[in-house]
Amino acid sequence: MNNGFLTSTHGNRSSSRLIGIIIIIWSLALCTLVLYWGKTEVVKAAVSAGTLFITIAGPAMVFLFQQKKNEISGTK
C-alpha cells in the first residue's frame, strides 16, 4: 500500500489533507508579511507572527493529526 501525503490509507485522494496544507501555507504567507511589515520592531513582529501562525494553522494541524489517527484505527 503506497500512500502519498495527500492520499488516505486506502489510496484515495484526501481533500481534507489538501485543505489543511493550503491553510498551513496561507498562514505561513501571512506570518511572512507580518514579519516583513514589522521589521522595525522585531520582537513584537515575531510574537505577532507566532501567535497568528498558532491561531490559524494550529487547529488545521490538530485536525490533520486526528484524521490520520482515525484513518489508522479504522483500517485495523
- Measured CA to CA, the distance from residue 52 to residue 33 in angstroms comes to 11
The 10 Å Cβ neighbour count of residue 49 is: 21
pLDDT attached to residue 2: 57
pLDDT attached to residue 72: 78
- Measured CA to CA, the distance from residue 24 to residue 22 in angstroms comes to 6
**pTM recorded for the entire structure:** 0.78
pLDDT in tens, 29-68: 999 999 999 999 999 999 999 999 999 999 999 998 898 8
